Amino acid sequence: MKYALITGASRGIGRAIALSLSQMGYTILVNYNTNHDAAKETLQLIEKQGGKGELLPFDVSDNVEVDKAIFAWEEANPNAHIEVLVNNAGFRKDNLMVFMTNEDWDSIIKTHLDGFFYTTRRVLKSMLSKRYGRIINVVSLSGIKGLPGQTNYSAAKAGIIGATKALAQEIGARKVTVNAVAPGFIQTDMTADLDEKQYKMMIPMGRFGKPEEVAEVVAFLASEKASYITGEVISVNGGLYT
């Protein structure tokens, strides 16, 4: 069976990606940290549409947890191969820098940037040995443009964008592609605290995006049709920033 690991797949964009890749025939490894009920619901939705999957809980910011969880899964599935990795896990802790605490900074950097590194490094060896793989990093408009009140989030996402471009050059010869998708304002729990009426006036398409619209781009990058695309950042933002 073909496997796809999606971090932070319990809800929002991660859930939409899990459902989309399931429709492509992948068995989905639904990663989450603490929200077991939401992750279980994602798995049930996958199974409801005729797909297969399993829960794989670990904290992406903890290198010991990452290695332990993925190693245990590989031991239990010796003939399996994770073909697709989607680094999606994340959250926001917005504040003006003058008021930002060390914890506000550290937690965002660790979950996003360290989480990308720990998880990708662990899965990468198998992809290189199999000479096939797709790594897709969910970044953000914030990492391209920078947004006030998000110096921590912008720094983390911009770091992943730089790492995406560098890693793509390292491993392209092994037929492993590395790309990023940069959503703008998408209707998820992460944007629930924003005033959509206010922000959508800034967006040329006049609305927030849907998680499924991001998932479709991720699905394309995960497919064999995207075999000559690597090191790219594709924006999904309704024309807000080009």
Q: Find the CATH number of the domain harbouring 231.
A: 3.40.50.720
- Asked, for residue 240, whether it belongs to a domain, the answer is no
The structure's pTM equals: 0.95
| Chain centroid offset of residue 38 CA | 17
The reply to whether 241 falls in a domain is no
CB 126 within 8 Å of CB 70? no
Tens-digit pLDDT profile for residues 11-65: 999 999 999 999 999 999 999 999 999 999 999 999 999 999 999 999 999 999 9
Residue 109 within any structural domain of the chain: yes
Q: Is residue 23 part of a domain?
A: yes
- Tell me: the pLDDT tens digits for 64-95? 999 999 999 999 999 999 999 999 999 999 99
Residue 201 belongs to some domain of the structure: yes
Q: Is residue 121 part of a domain?
A: yes
In a domain, 149, yes or no: yes
Average pLDDT for the chain? 96
Residue 192 has pLDDT above 90, yes or no: no
Q: What is the pLDDT of residue 157?
A: 98
The whole-number pLDDT of residue 242 equals 77
Residue partners of 100: CB distance under 8 A and separation at least 6: 151, 152
Per-residue pLDDT band at 188 (split at 50, 70, 90): confident
What is the structure's pLDDT at 1? 82
Question: What CA–CA distances, in Å, run from 26 to 17, 20, 78?
Answer: 11, 9, 17
Buried b (16+ CB within 10 A) or exposed e, 118-137: bbbebbbebbbeeebbbbbb
Number of domains in the chain: 1
Flag whether pLDDT at 190 surpasses 90: no
* pLDDT at 16 (0 to 100): 98
Instruction: Check if the beta carbon of residue 123 is closer than 8 Å to that of residue 60.
Output: no
User: By residue range, what is the domain housing residue 208?
Assistant: 2-235
| Residue 37 located in a structural domain | yes
Q: pLDDT exceeding 90 applies to what percent of the chain?
A: 93
Mean pLDDT of 210-230: 98
The DSSP secondary structure of 121-180, one letter per residue, reads HHHHHHHHHHT-EEEEEE--HHHHH--TT-HHHHHHHHHHHHHHHHHHHHHGGGTEEEEE
Q: Which residues are catalytic?
A: 153
Confidence band of 232 (pLDDT split at 50, 70, 90): very high
